[in-house]
Structure 1
Amino acid sequence: MKKTAIVLLVTVALLFVLRQFVVVPYSVPYEGMEPTLGEGERVLVNKWGYGSSSSDKAKTVERGAIMVFHNPAEKPDVAIDDRAVFIARIYGLAGDTLMLNRQLVPVDVPPVDVHLKRVYHYPALCEERMLAIVDSLGIKDSFVGNGQSSHSRQFNYDEILKVRAAINRAFTLVCTSPDVPTNCYPYVVPKKGGVVPVTLWNITLLCNTINYHEGRKAVIKNGQLFVDGKLTKQYTFTQNYYWVMCDNMLNLNDSRLFGLVPESHLVGKVWMVYWKKIRTI
């Protein structure tokens, strides 16, 4: 009897340890991972090396892995372990640069070098308008040369986006080299200790990430980011982040909706499916 009790206690203890730190069952909460995983199907999730107890998550997260994580859009005062559980596939790792369109959907083009200066021609008759625009934007030393019918200036990625917005199609800018894409933008997935510049296209994402996951107060005023009341043109992040996507693109329970997923919110990697629905045609 005594031996039986000891065996039972050891078994219960092992099951507790396995569930808390190694493997835990989950039910797929929505249709976002179809056809790979269906809503309601049961999976086993490997927690080893993930979550708030792991000190080396960056080495264990793989691109393409199906991950379970806690809702990153929940209010910061709700404990991470008390939040709803989501599931999606890792698309961007900490330190990656992703090209995303206006709907934050990845676009299959090479990442843009945001520092590279490209030369643009525009009508000589528009020089006065162009000069007023670059002066108002604080762009320095952009003038390259002038011809009889056209003038030339050089701009980096951030500058050309601002200039084009200010011109508002009043005249045409022609790039002398392959132009930057106009339908997508480079987003840096933050890594621990990494510095991410604030830009026109990522300012909202960075503001939300800092507020929700960095424990600081961030606001946008007149198109500029302020963190704890100070103007911030670049930010150093304190943990790794990930960009996740659903296999079913019609489902928005991924980074298009809630932004970056911090490493502290990771539960684990889907290891195996132990109950799968019988699907009918």
Structure 2
Amino acid sequence: MTIGFWQLFKKAGRAGWEALVPVYGTYIMLKISGRPWWLLLLLIIPGVGIIVELGIYIDFIKSFGKTKLRQQAAGVLLGFIYLPKWGFDEKTSYLGASASAEFQEKYRQDLKRSSAREWTEAVIFAVVAATLIRSLFIEAYTIPTPSMESSLLVGDFLFVSKVNYGARLPMTPVAFPFAHHTMPLTGTKAYWDGIKLPYFRLPGLSEIKKGDVVVFNYPMDADSPFYRPVDKRENYIKRCQGAPGDTLSLIDARVYVNSKPAKMPPHGEMEYMVRADDSRFDPQMIYDLHLSDIQQFTNRDYMMNMTEHSAQMLKGYSNIKTVTPNVRLRGVYDPEIFPHNPHYRWNVDNFGPIIIPKKGWTVKLDSLTLPFYSRAIAVYENNKLQVNGNDITINGKKTNSYTFKMNYYWMMGDNRHNSEDSRFWGFVPEDHIVGKALFVWMSWDATSPSANKIRWSRLFRGIN
């Protein structure tokens, strides 16, 4: 698409490099199509910005004679093919500003529509096109919480690919465009669950791999008070640590998969106990080392979150005596940890082993396995599960086993002591998977002490 824009800019008498400059390139597109510059201001409005951006793009390609609906649809949905095609096509030339009266008069046979109808069709087309792009190809997300720090930071804006794992078709098709589950301002539902479609996913480029950073729907939104449909549950982002059929455990905060230690996230954080000479911590040092969630217990003793690299750096400061990972002891039961059963005395740092369900895998059901798999059987795979003493019935039939219909995954945040993840609520079903996080395109640091809040080093940065 970049090559296509470059060539079309040149055909309109502009320098090709102008197409590469964010915002400025859009301003030039407005000049080429004869639209006012202030439309740029509308781009910052959520929802409206997407429609305006597509409108600007459609006006731009109309200026090169692409006035028919099928041509505009091709330019929007298959721009990576048609923009360079038009750019190098000798028959495609700049015909003038599509918004000008002269253009409208000259090509009135192709543009026989009133201004109101033209804008109405443009808005409808833009909404449909944007919805298709967001559903089937790529969507923008923002990191709201520190559960993935320091791999992903609060204020990171990233693109998530729907193509890598295969786009999931909408399961709740009747919904307000660009709103996920709740309408802004009113707080009411942004969807109607009177129509529900079965789960179906288009073919993807790859399977979910251990280590991938994945966006998925929060499984616990199936419960009270929300009872949301699968595709309208809250979006979460974590790292996949376990795939279907894997046996996973945590030993002293280290993940083991199939008895082998998993690779540690390069920028993952956890809690450390810090002993210092005094109670003074330089604010600049806190910012530079990205120390967070600082708790002070005595004049010398602290607990805080940081990366392993920051911990090594902190040890080099003259007023720091010790920096020690705060790892929970083995055998100490935490009732908040899955499967919330005192028989399994697990916590966030010492957990498992646990087998992650795989499609077609048959598990024996008894008092030891039911705590792990009852939710998947009843909630995620929509069976009626009843337990009466030692008797187990599924959909009215007595049984002692169950064969899973879906694959499941184990997701964890890189900020291990500040993440609500599979350790708390268990498995993520395959029908909850949204897409793969690709790269950070913008990053805004609201806590920065300087006037410049943009983290320039993170722009267009790939996700490890």
Question: What interval of TM-score do these two structures reach, taking the shorter chain for normalisation?
Answer: 0.5 to 0.7
Note if 1:5 corresponds to 2:67.
yes
Code of the residue aligned with 1:83 in structure 2: it is: R
Which of 86, 93, 108 matches 2:243?
Answer: 93
Aligned length: 210
User: Kindly, what percent of the aligned residue pairs are identical?
Assistant: 30
Sort the Cα spacing of 1:47 and 1:25 in 2 relative to 1 into closer, same or farther, 3 A.
Answer: same
- Does structure 2 conserve the Cα–Cα contact (< 8 Å) formed by 1:57 and 1:263? no
User: In the alignment, what sits opposite 2:412?
Assistant: 245
| 1:41 corresponds to 2:156 | yes
Q: CA deviation at 1:107?
A: 5.0
For structure 2, the residue ranges without an aligned partner over 5 or more in a row are 1-61, 79-128, 169-198, 260-342, 344-349, 450-464
Write out aligned runs for 1:154-173 (5 A). none
Change (3 A) 1:106 1:75: farther
Of 346, 350, 355 in structure 2, the residue corresponding to residue 188 of structure 1 is 355
Counterpart among 269, 272, 281 of residue 439 in structure 2: 272
Alignment-mate amino acid for residue 363 of structure 2 = V
**Structure 1 residues 110 and 5, CA, compared in 2 at 3 Å: closer, same or farther?**
closer
Contact 1:74–1:83 (CA<8 Å) still a contact in 2? yes
Deviation at 1:43, TM superposition (A): 0.8
Where 2:215 maps in the other structure, the secondary structure is strand
Instruction: Provide the alpha-carbon RMSD of the alignment.
Output: 3.3
Instruction: Please give the residue correspondences for 1:1-281 in structure 2 after superposition, counting only pairs within 5 Å.
Output: 3-6=65-68, 7-14=71-78, 16=130, 17-48=132-163, 49-50=165-166, 51=168, 52-54=199-201, 59-75=206-222, 78-100=228-250, 107-108=255-256, 111=259, 184-198=351-365, 200-222=367-389, 225-278=392-445, 280=448
The alpha-carbon deviation at position 212 of structure 1 amounts to: 1.5
Moved more, 238-247 or 91-100: 91-100
Separation of aligned partners in 2, 1:269 and 1:217 = 33
Judged with a 3 Å threshold, the aligned counterparts in structure 2 of structure 1 residues 212 and 252 are, in CA distance, closer, same or farther, namely: farther
- Any conservation in 2 of the 1:66–1:269 contact (CA below 8 Å)? yes
Structure 1 letter corresponding to 2:410: W
CA positional deviation for 1:38: 1.4
Q: Is the 8 A contact 2:377 2:383 kept in 1?
A: yes
Contact preservation (8 Å) 2:247, 2:258: no
Aligned equivalents of 2:154 and 2:403: distance in 1?
Answer: 38
**Superposition deviation, residue 26 in structure 1:** 0.9
Name the CA distance, whole Å, in 2 between partners of 1:58 and 1:262.
19
Q: Distance in 1 between matches of 2:381 and 2:387?
A: 16
Shift of 1:100: 5.0
Contact 1:58 1:94 in 2 (8 A): no
Q: Distance in 1 between matches of 2:150 and 2:392?
A: 40
Partner AA of 1:45 in structure 2: V
Q: Distance in 2 between matches of 1:54 and 1:110?
A: 28
For structure 1, which runs of at least 5 residues remain unmatched after alignment?
112-164, 166-182
* Greater strand content: 1
Distance 1:220 1:56 in 2: 38
TM-score, normalisation: structure 2? 0.40
Asked if the contact 1:187–1:202 (Cα under 8 Å) also holds between the matched residues in 2, the reply is: no
Q: Secondary structure at the match of 1:270?
A: strand
CA separation of 1:88 and 1:202: change in aligned 2, threshold 3 A: farther
1:221–1:236 distance in 2 versus 1, CA, 3 Å: same
TM-score normalised to the size of structure 1?
A: 0.63
Cα distance, 1:13–1:22 mapped onto 2, change above 3 Å: closer
Relative distance call for 1:57 and 1:223 in structure 2 (3 A) is farther
Q: Is residue 207–residue 219 contact of structure 1 (8 Å, CA) maintained in 2?
A: no
